[in-house]
Amino acid sequence: MILNSPRGTSDIFGSDIEYRNFIINNAKRLFSIFNYKELITPTFEHTQVFSRSIGDGTDIVQKEMYTFSDKKGRSLTLRPEGTASIVRAIIENKMYSGYLPVKVFYTGSMFRYERPQKGRMREFYQIGAEAVGTDNPIIDSEIIWLLETFFKNLGFKKLKLFINSMGCSRCRKEFVGKFKLFLEPKVDKLCTDCQKRYDLNPLRIFDCKKDNCINLISDSPKIYSSLCSDCKSHFKKVLYFLDALKIKYTVDSNLVRGFDYYTKTIFEFVSKDLQSAQNALGGGGRYDNLIQQFGGPDIPAIGFAVGVDRILMLMKQLNLEAGKEKDESKIYVIVLDGSCEEYSFDILKYLREKNYVCDLNYNIRALNSELKWAEKNGYDFAAIIGENEVKAGEVTIKDIKKRKQYKIKWDREKEKLDNLIRRAGDQANQAI
């Protein structure tokens, strides 16, 4: 019997790996520029890490966590998101006791037992960042700036940024009261999920995609009208810095995010090109009370998370390229005959010792097929070795892109090969 991967998971290989690494490496470069340091946390945590932070009433905690008991009966959960673990780690390791804010980033698999569909997996990969220890609105705009730059660097041009403020715990409480009062006469008209949300987590009703629920709340009070003066002025400053950065945004007073811990600024990057309900590429927001809630000091924080799988899917759909990491040339050593293997192996050894990206055809095929394959797989050069080359002590180098061919004396002219490969470009060609 052939076994398949579990529902909602996938094997990642081929060009997807190139895209994925390109996306992750781009993010890492930006994290370095913006001074965010990597923090790696375990893939599973004590269940309470998530239930206490994300919120008992959220879909994730109610329905979507991969929770299991270990052999000693401890309840553990595969992480459904990154922030809770990062907060746990920052507190446990007292990282808050030094310079603030602590600016960290993470990458890794997240697990949610959701109904799989296009852009929604049960294991998916997120990149995220958190800045813990300041409520300065500059950091809110910095986090959005980083994300904006990240998407721009990947080639996206038409993403929309939605932003809102959820207020602090005081103004949010007031708003939830007003909102519930508004909905009270309509509760039984809401969908069954929203009826449950009405009791457990009423703000999630704003997230419902069902037309009927959208209509029912279309003229509900807006959170902005309940914001206290501190929250209003904080939000205005965030928008001021975004304007200063010339970042375009839409203030969406209906935007809420799924976890209980959010306060003040929240935001989401959305693509109209992702043709499904799953059109958010990433988002985040402030969580000013979470650190204290976890038993840490009363310090504010903000963060974001983006989904690599969805970004990858959209890049491919829009024909955006996963560029080469470095400007390095790739060389394919083509052995034409079994008798030339030892000679070719020496060449492969030389190239690898020089740190060139190279490989050899382990199974011998016709030269034309090999060259076609090399071109298709992004090789810049082929080093071709047949009986003639071995006899003459030479290597034939084919510049696949320029469609030019050179012969090099292997024992005496290795540096010519270096010149070529190092892409001194035309100079190297003249040297030959």
Options 305, 340, 382, 390; binder of ligand AMP; rule CB under 6 A? 305
| CA 120 – CA 162 distance, rounded (Å) | 21
Give 40: exposed, middle or buried? Use CB within 10 Å, 0-12, 13-18, 19+: exposed
Region 237-266 residues binding ligand AMP, contact defined as CB under 6 A: 258
Q: How far is the CB of 148 from ligand AMP (least distance, A)?
A: 15
- Determine the interface stretch with ligand AMP among 17-25, 114-122, 239-247, 319-327 (rule: CB under 6 A): 114-122
Site string for ligand AMP, 308-347 (x = CB under 6 A): -xx-------------------------------------
Type and span of the H or E element at 369: helix 367-376
Residue in 181, 256, 193, 188 with CA at minimum distance from that of residue 221: 181
Give the burial string for 126-165 (b: 16+ CB within 10 Å, else e).
Answer: bbbbbbbbbbbbebbbbbbbbbbbbbeebebeebebbbbb
User: Residue 430: enclosing H or E segment and its boundaries?
Assistant: helix 426-431
202 is a site residue for ligand AMP (CB under 6 A) = no
Any contact of residue 16 with ligand AMP (CB under 6 A)? no
- What H or E segment, with its residue span, contains residue 19? helix 15-33
How near is the Cβ of 330 to ligand AMP at its closest, in Å? 32
Rounded CA separation 306/127 (Å): 5
Closest CB to ligand AMP among 119 and 202?
119
Query: Does 126 contact ligand AMP by CB under 6 A?
Result: yes
Nearer to ligand AMP, 121 or 390 (CB): 121
Q: Which residue is nearest to ligand AMP (CB)?
A: 307
Using rule CB under 6 A, residue 46 touches ligand AMP: no
281 binds ligand AMP (CB under 6 A): yes
**Exactly one of 20, 120, 232, 414 binds ligand AMP (CB under 6 A); which one?**
120
307 near ligand AMP, judged by CB under 6 A = yes
Task: State the amino acid at position 381 in one-letter form.
Answer: F
Under 8 Å between Cβ of 96 and 297: yes
**Judged by CB under 6 A, does residue 283 bind ligand AMP?**
yes
Structure tokens at 312: 């990858």
Out of 27, 49, 95, 121, the residue judged to bind ligand AMP by CB under 6 A: 121
If you write DSSP's letter for every residue of 273-342 in order, what string do you get?
A: TS-SS--EEEEEEE-TTHHHHTTS-S--EEEEEEEHHHHHHHHHHTT-----SSS--EEEEEE-SGGGHH
Tell which one of 18, 114, 359, 418 touches ligand AMP (CB under 6 A): 114
Contact region with ligand AMP (CB under 6 A), list: 168-176, 300-308, 315-323, 412-420: 300-308
How, if at all, do strands 280-286 and 123-132 pair? unpaired
Stretch that binds ligand AMP, among 118-126, 151-159, 366-374, 375-383 (CB under 6 A): 118-126
Contact 132, 287 (CB under 8 A): no
Stretch that binds ligand AMP, among 32-40, 120-128, 323-331, 400-408 (CB under 6 A): 120-128
Nearer to ligand AMP, 121 or 322 (CB): 121
Looking at residue 368, its amino acid is N
Interface positions with ligand AMP (CB under 6 A): 81, 112, 114, 119-121, 124, 126, 258, 280-283, 305-307, 309-310
